[in-house]
A and B are shown apart, each in its own frame.
Chain A
Amino acid sequence: MSFAANVAAGNVPPQNRHDVTLDQIVQEITTTDDAKVLNDKLRHLSPRESRDTILSGALTGGQDPLSVLDPERNTIGCLYILAARLHATPAQAPSMRVVEEFCSRFTPEHARLAPERVTQLTKGIIRLAESYGKQKHALGALRDLVTRYPPDLSYLTTVHTQFISHCVATRHFSIALPVLSVPIVNIDTNLSELTYNDNLIYHYAGGIALGALKMWREAEEFFEICVSAPAQVPAAIQMEALKKLTLVQLILYGKTTSLPKYTNQALGRLFRQTPYFRLADMYPRPQPDLQAFVVKETEVFNRDQNSGLVQQVLDCAPRWLIRKATQTYLTLGMSDIAKETGNPNVNENRSIVLSMIDNGEINGTLSEDDTVTFSETTTNITKNDIDKALKNAQEQSSLLLRLERELYASREYLVKVLKHKDDGNWAQDDDSVMGMPHLGGSNAWADDSMFG
């Protein structure tokens, strides 16, 4: 009697449970062609407690079931066995090589049928690497998993979160870049068992990785997404993200910008009581002032593990002061600059100015007698820039149009509209008002771009 029949019968007599052996399961795996059917069978494999024990055992001949199965063809089977074995006793744990092979060869469409196994597998991989004491060994497998599992990288999955957190934990930031460079715009809870924490942690950890790589602009966006994530009450991690966001903005713009309107209000209020707010408030000032403030609050910055970022914020202060001075002055002597930055060391100031000119942060020249002449900032916008911008705009508008259509076709929307219709006769008008201008709007966009 096959175990599938047992499941179908529903009421399994206890003694029959142990009738299901791994051999039978492997048999089933290799013979069932339809991945969906197989997944249903394995998921309802009885009983829950002993299922993992069975799956993590060996075949009767003492053979490793994984050596029999092919990751590409038997994705579901391998996934179940791997997930089970990674959570079983260390002795049964598969070797990292096997795991890596699976990750690089599995069939994504099949794996998506069992998202909870994928989450389990991800956690198992990290645990496996930890048990070896070589955490970074997990990165290769995780990267393959994260890139191959979702339909594309813009879908958030639990693997994303685990992968990025692990990258940050092992300080391998650049390996995360290909993943981080694709912004998350899709959330599908059928694809992966997400919780709000996955989103928060992914963007928080991503921000840290990008910050460590000094990609401030991208880091800012990640932190901002974390901070402004929908929340009924602010999460602690959002507060931490806001602290880091503030520091990143100080480095990037020399000041903070206001948070999106939809950010949880309480977060802003709480933040006002932190030294970060005061730091942002007084920034930029001559370094000695800032230094004094930072020393006073060292404890807080250290406790939040932000002292590195704070130090970078401090290092940027003279640059922002000089940038500010260019708004006011046409020429400045080195002594004047020293007065602005509060740093009497002429050589240091000169090298800062030179590096700023090199980086294009300021537009100016340094003459022999240590006079800096700032010229008006000129921006050259080429035809290519414009074309690129127009192309972007067109893509954006077609994306929005597509989304709008999807929305109109969506169940929730139609249900609401119908409900409205029942409520009153004016619903028809309302509908047309809502539908038409948007379409008109997209045409207007196209017109604009032609005009431009």
Chain B
Amino acid sequence: MDVDLIDETEGHAFVIQKSAGKRPQVLPIDDAHPFDLEAYISGYSGRAAVDRLTFIIAVCPSLAPQAFQLAITQMQSLRDTFLYNKTVEAYNNAQKQNEELPPHTDVAIIEQGWSENITAKNNAERTKLEVELKTYSSNMIKESIRMGHRDLGLFYRSIGEYSTSLKHYTKSREFCTTSQHILDMTLSILDLLMEQRNFAHIPTYVYKGEAALEAITGSRVAAANSGNLASKPAAKEKAVAERDRIQAKLDLALAMSYLGQGQYEKAAQAFLKVGPLSGLDGWAGVLIAPGDIAIYGTLCALATYSRAQIQAQLLENDNFGVYIEQEPYVRELIDAYMSSRFKTVLEILERYSTRHFIDIVLSQHVPFLMNSIREHALVLYFQPFASINLERMAAAFGWTSEYLEEQVVALIKKGSIEARVDRQNKVLKARTTDQRAALFQRALKSGSDMQSTNRKLLLRMRLQQADLVVKAPRNAG
């Protein structure tokens, strides 16, 4: 959790620098910003759900009691006793900001003795697994050692000791004998990293997994080809289907990793590549809700893609369409964007801003993505005009003309819009360049630059020929 907190502050510093947008101090939940916590959290289960709820407690005090309650219920089926402390701590912090919140003991109480119970069980299991591993090691049976490490990895993951878990998983790599084992290991690690939201590490394991997957599919197809004729196509199909299924997971992990690291264009590409929902069993509904894929992918695409790219890669993508159906407003958003109803786009983004900010993964990226979408919209809107009244443009975006001017000026300074603002008459005018004159000017300039560069280089050459080179004083060694 510590790691996440640090990431979050860094992310914020980065976002504030890059854009004016910033997460509001208190996230509003009202008619204009609808949010249904129960429906939202039903998309996740286990530890991921608790983590998300803890995050909500921190960022949205008005939802804190409800989230706390849900978190307590969820965590009783888990085995990590620290989770309870963390959640209580988050709640207390929220309480400090908002005095009206009831004390956490009033909201939900954990079963008496739960913590002691679990700790005792955990200790027993740990001892058991460690003894097992020791026995396997002394017997030197590779396969058993691998499974021993795997079981320990799973165990440590369940009690929240991620680094120990990762250690055991990576250790099991030494005892893998087939590509299938390697693939299993990488998938377990990816599972772990996704749960931990340790996005920086993901790509390494995705590439390892892809290599292993390639090897397996290759050998399976070969086996199918050499098998008897009747079962040939079926076996081949099965192998390919199996590959697609796992590939979907790898793609999703990669996409999340890009998003987590702020590489939005790559993230958009990766999200749009994710295969059908059926491939994500064990992840969808646990680590990530299918709707999330739609939201992350769409926001990234809108923020970085050109219109043609969106058309080709997002709208004409059947796989992704399935995900979009999970969150109807995403479809509305894309439609509004594609038909240039930017006011609607901004309204939808505003309406669901709470939904976005409350998401533990998306939260720190929202300001940048929103800003970027807004800028894209402004640029797109102005494109066909030679000049436009600022008032009219402001109306199209539902802004005041002062705010619009500010935005437009920022874009001009960035070089995204080739135009100038007539401040007196409130008109935005496209810049016309005399290409011929510009060309002449550039040619003349590069000519004189070249001459002076030549002269300087010549002098430099002469200096070097004469060995007039600055050298370190001899005594300085």
Contact with B along A365-397 (1 / 0, CB 8 A): 000000100101011010001100100110010
Taking CB atoms, residues of chain B closer than 8 Å to A231 are 469-470
Pair A327/B463 contact, Cβ less than 8 Å = no
In the docked arrangement, what's the CA distance between A310 and B421, Å?
33
Query: Is B472's CB under 8 angstroms from A378's CB?
Result: no
User: Interface code A161-192, partner B: CB below 8 Å = 1, 0 otherwise?
Assistant: 00000000000000000000001111111000
A89 an interface residue at 8 Å Cβ cutoff?
Answer: no
Q: How far is the CA of A198 from the CA of B462 in the complex (A)?
A: 14
B399-454 with Cβ < 8 A to chain A: 409, 412-413, 420-425, 427, 429, 431-432, 434, 437, 440-441, 443-444, 447-448, 450-454
In the complex, the chain B residue whose C-beta lies closest to that of A238 is B470
A327 and B420: CB pair below 8 A?
yes
Is B423 a contact of A200 with CB atoms below 8 Å? no
* Residues B440 and A381 in contact, CB atoms below 8 Å apart: yes
- Within 8 Å by CB of B421, from A200, A262, A330, A392, lies A330
Given A187-B465, A376-B432, A379-B437, do A336 and B458 touch, yes or no (CB 8 Å)? no
Contacts of A333 in B (CB 8 A): 423-424
Which residues, 184 to 219 on A, are CB-close (under 8 Å) to B? 184-189, 194-196, 198-200
Residues from chain A with Cβ under 8 Å of B96 in the complex: none
Judging by beta carbons under 8 Å apart, are A185 and B460 in contact?
Answer: no
A1: which B residues are within 8 A, CB to CB?
none
User: A187 is contacted by which of B427, B431, B443, B468 (Cβ under 8 Å)?
Assistant: B468
A282 to B230, CA, bound (A): 74
Task: Please determine whether B468 and A230 come into contact, CB atoms closer than 8 angstroms.
Answer: yes
B128 sits at the interface (CB 8 A): no
Task: Tell me the complex Cα distance, A420–B413, Å.
Answer: 55
Closest chain A CB from B332 CB (angstroms): 35
Count how many chain A residues have C-beta atoms less than 8 Å from C-beta atoms of the other chain.
Answer: 51
How many residues of B are counted as interface, with CB atoms below 8 angstroms from the partner's CB atoms?
41
Prevailing SS type, chain B contact patch: helix
A379 touches B441 (CB 8 A): yes
A400 and B421: CB pair below 8 A?
Answer: no
Interface of A is mostly: mixed
The answer to whether A221 and B423 have CB atoms under 8 Å apart is no
Q: Please name all residues of chain A whose beta carbon is closer than 8 Å to the beta carbon of B424 when the two chains form the complex.
A: 331-333, 371
The distance from the CB of B476 to the nearest CB of chain A, in whole angstroms, is: 9
Look across to chain A and name the residue whose beta carbon is closest to the beta carbon of B473. A233
| B472 with A187: CB separation less than 8 A | no
Interface residues, chain B, with chain A CB atoms under 8 Å away: 409, 412-413, 420-425, 427, 429, 431-432, 434, 437, 440-441, 443-444, 447-448, 450-456, 458-460, 462-466, 468-472
18 pairs, A vs B, C-beta closer than 8 Å:
A183-B455, A185-B459, A186-B462, A187-B465, A189-B466, A194-B468, A196-B470, A196-B471, A262-B460, A328-B420, A330-B420, A330-B423, A331-B422, A331-B423, A376-B434, A389-B444, A389-B448, A396-B450
User: Which 7 pairs show the lowest CB-CB distances between chains A and B?
Assistant: A231-B470, A187-B462, A330-B422, A331-B424, A196-B468, A233-B472, A230-B469
A185-B458, A230-B468, A232-B472 are known contacts; what are 9 more A-B pairs with Cβ within 8 Å?
A: A228-B456, A231-B470, A232-B470, A234-B470, A329-B422, A333-B423, A374-B420, A376-B434, A381-B440
